[in-house]
Amino acid sequence: MAKLYFYYSSMNAGKSTTLLQADFNYRERGMQTMLWTAALDDRAGHGGIESRIGLHAEAHKFSAATQLWERIVAAHRVEPLACVLVDEAQFLSEAQVWQLARVADQAGIPVLCYGLRTDFQGELFPGAKALLGIADSLIELKAVCHCGRKSSMNLRVDGDGVAVKQGAQTEIGGNDRYVALCRKHFTEALGWWV
């Protein structure tokens, strides 16, 4: 029975690397996969998923208007899919998460989603909220804070490395804009307990 999986973590935990390794494992065995990533994240160039350690694969892009169920089922009719892998899953809409659940439940294709759980203010992203609610399997990938504890938070910083407390939920960036921290150092950086 196919399942909907959600692999979540803070930044720098290797989500994209883990996704690309899973894709490689399927393809090495001669199985067809379908990769997706958020259209608004263009850091890897047009249509790509890229890990911080340099792995790369081409992927379909989803936006808020993308009908994932229809696109995946159409591709599955042409060449049977063994797995669907979604990077930046926090940017999925609730409706898209339900479409991916339908892919697992009705089309019988496993769906592996990888993404952040929370934003720079500790709030759930819409896609993460829906996945935490309905995924069959929740897997936390671990990243490490500078203190050695597990990092679970994403601190947004400005050009001088100072914590940003307000702004839009979504602002694309890498190590230049975000620091993965444990909750203790996250709240200290924001001055919440002062």
Question: For residue 176, what pLDDT is reported?
Answer: 65
Distance separating alpha carbons of residues 182 and 179, to the nearest angstrom: 10
Question: For residue 112, what pLDDT is reported?
Answer: 98
Q: Are 39 and 91 in contact (CB under 8 A)?
A: no
Strands 143-144, 48-50: parallel, antiparallel or unpaired by DSSP?
unpaired
160 lies in a domain? no
98 lies in a domain? yes
Question: For residue 185, what pLDDT is reported?
Answer: 92
Instruction: Please report, in angstroms and rounded to a whole number, the separation of the first and last CA atoms in the chain.
Output: 50
17 lies in a domain? yes
Q: What is the pTM of this model?
A: 0.90
Query: Where does the pLDDT of residue 40 fall: very low under 50, low under 70, confident under 90, or very high at 90 and above?
Result: confident
Q: For residue range 114-161, what is the model confidence (pLDDT) as tens digits?
A: 999 998 888 999 999 999 999 999 999 999 999 999 999 988 888 777
Query: Where does the pLDDT of residue 165 fall: very low under 50, low under 70, confident under 90, or very high at 90 and above?
Result: confident
For all residues of the chain together, what is the average pLDDT? 89
Collapsing DSSP to helix, strand or coil, 139 comes out as strand
180 lies in a domain? no
Q: Which of 52-56, 68-72, 85-89 has the lowest mean pLDDT?
A: 52-56
Query: Where does the pLDDT of residue 91 fall: very low under 50, low under 70, confident under 90, or very high at 90 and above?
Result: very high
103 lies in a domain? yes
pLDDT at 167 over 70: no
* Catalytic site includes residue 88: yes
156 lies in a domain? no
Report which DSSP code applies to 64.
T
* Number of independent structural domains in the chain: 1
Tokens of 59: 């992927």
Question: For residue 130, what pLDDT is reported?
Answer: 98
169 lies in a domain? no
Q: Taking residues 56-85, report their average pLDDT.
A: 95
Question: For residue 47, what pLDDT is reported?
Answer: 60
24 lies in a domain? yes
Show the domain range for 130. 4-142
Distance separating alpha carbons of residues 152 and 182, to the nearest angstrom: 5
Collapsing DSSP to helix, strand or coil, 9 comes out as strand
Strands 56-58, 137-140: parallel, antiparallel or unpaired by DSSP?
unpaired
Which class for 65: exposed (0-12), middle (13-18), buried (19 or more C-beta within 10 A)? exposed
Tokens of 152: 């679970």
CATH number of the domain within which 93 lies? 3.40.50.300
Name the active-site residue from 28, 50, 70, 88: 88
Collapsing DSSP to helix, strand or coil, 28 comes out as helix
HSE at residue 7, side-chain half, CA atoms within 13 A, is 21
